[in-house]
Amino acid sequence: MSAPLRVGLSACFFHADPQRAIFKGKTLLYAEESMIELVSRTGALTYLVPRPVEGGPSVADYVDDLDALVLQGGSDVCPRTYGQEPLRPEWEGDEARDRYEIELIHAFVDAGKPVLGICRGLQVLNVAFGGTLHQDVETQVPGSRRHRDWDLYDANHHHVDLAEGEWLARLHGGAARVTVNSVHHQAVRDLAPGFEVEARSVDDDLVEAIRRPGAGYVAAVQWHPEFTPRERGELLDPMPLVDDFVAAADRAR
């Protein structure tokens, strides 16, 4: 029997904060536990991929040791990463995390190893290949629905339409319209060259899933499949997506 797959998770950052009550002034790299749980349900082993340090293992070393990469959700992508200035201070994002994740993305893709983006992961994946973002959907997309509600958080749900006959629709038995959670305020503006849209929000046509066709596996969704409860009700089943990603990793190794 072959060894379990080894899936890397890009780290979320808590940057050094002298006012924080714990780990005062220290930078923390972390994973959201439900993301680990979701990947682990496939039988794959999950590992947090640290930011390389001088004199330590390189990005190439981590790529060699792992079979695939998941880009977690989290902080905004910094507008400077895609050639813009933040329109408001609170949309500054995390430029250091952008640089770290974009290096990981290209290293895994160049090695022919699958990459799956979740929420912020979709946005940084789009930017890594030349796309841009709306810095804030509510102010930049007239008539848009509220894609992030702090009080509802992952209980904020809406419908998305899956591209007929395409990869994501096929994963879900040919479904045309599904219900997902929504915890984001940034979104794809200009789609990266070479990518295709796999799903759009019903209310405002925002991009909700993307994929790069051809060799390799590079795909992402704007919602959080890891936040879907076991008793999911109307919400889209998260497992077909994750199982497909893990199966691609198994084929690639």
In the set 101, 198, 208, 226, the catalytic residue is 226
Known catalytic membership, residue 78: no
In the set 119, 134, 158, 208, the catalytic residue is 119
Known catalytic membership, residue 226: yes
Known catalytic membership, residue 119: yes
In the set 134, 147, 184, 224, the catalytic residue is 224
State the SS3 of the chain. Answer: CCCCCEEEEECEEECCCCCCCCCCCCCEEECCHHHHHHHHCCCCEEEEECCCCCCCCCHHHHHHHCCEEEECCCCCCCHHHHCCCCCCHHHCCCHHHHHHHHHHHHHHHHCCCCEEEECHHHHHHHHHCCCCEECCHHHHCCCCCCCCCCCCHHHCEEEEEECCCCHHHHHCCCCCEEEEECCCCCEECCCCCCCEEEEEECCCCCEEEEEECCCCCEEEECCCHHHCCCCCCCECCCHHHHHHHHHHHHHHC
Residues tagged active-site:
119, 224, 226
